[in-house]
Amino acid sequence: MADENKLGRKITTLREAHHLTTQDLADRCGFEVETVERLEAGEVPASLAPLIKLTRALGVRLGTLMDDDEAFGPAYIDADQMAAVEQTRSLQTAKDAGDLSYFSLAAGRPSRHMDPFVITVTPTGEASHKLDSHEGEEWLYGMEGEIEIEYGNEVYVLGPGESIYYDSIVPHQVRAHSGQNAKFLACVYTPF
């Protein structure tokens, strides 16, 4: 499918527009060059933390990498669109968090300062977990099932109707709880 590696093509296009080699971009992000090459090739999905490092290195907002177009005006998504949406490929590189699929609620809205998503988590059964961090803040609201948020040395369980708001610079991970699928709203703010 032509749209399968949309994110990788955007990273490549932005990197080339800045006249950067894959090594240059890797150095700016603190990645191995192989990581940039694999992201551009669509061989690995990217978690939010690496995407934020990429956006910083490329001088763009997170939404620039995630959006299909740059239409002006509000981003309105009706109930039928929510029900029929094709969710994006997982953005999570660490399989210990489970498979996370993201649906942007602001796709097409340019120059935004926050990114709202509906995220579905499918557990993988991993027992060990790697925490990640990035600049900004996150707000999560439980819709279905339960998720765990490991934040620093604490673990929080978020169920339907519950929310959590935290600074994402503190190492954290969001994952499925008790081997069940879950769905939640997330709003991610990343300063530019």
- pLDDT tens, residue by residue, 99-138: 777 777 877 666 677 888 888 888 877 777 788 888 889 9
The closest of 94, 95, 122, 117 to 107, measured between CA atoms, is: 117
Q: Which residue has the higher pLDDT, 112 or 28?
A: 28
* Tokens 């765990």, residue located: 148
Q: What average pLDDT score do residues 131-158 get?
A: 92
pLDDT of residue 92: 42
Residue 69 pLDDT > 80, yes or no? no
Is the Cβ–Cβ distance between 70 and 110 less than 8 Å?
yes
Mean pLDDT score, 159-186: 92
pLDDT at 68 > cutoff 70: no
Identify the weakest region by mean pLDDT among 27-36, 70-79, 166-175. Answer: 70-79
> What is the arithmetic mean of pLDDT over 149-160?
94
Tell me the C-alpha distance between 44 and 57, whole Å: 19
pTM for the model stands at: 0.59
Beta strands in the chain (DSSP E): 99-104, 114-122, 137-144, 147-151, 154-158, 163-167, 172-176, 182-189
Q: Exposure of 182 by Cβ count < 10 A (0-12 exposed, 13-18 middle, 19+ buried)? A: buried
What integer best gives the mean pLDDT of the chain? Answer: 80
pLDDT greater than 70 at residue 181: yes
CA distance 176 to 192: 30
Of residues 27 and 133, which shows the higher confidence score?
A: 27
- Cα separation, 163 vs 176, whole angstroms: 15
Q: Any idea which of 62-66, 76-80, 90-94 has the lowest mean pLDDT?
A: 90-94
Q: pLDDT band for position 162 (50/70/90)?
A: very high
**The pLDDT of residue 138:** 92
Strand partners, 151: 154, 172
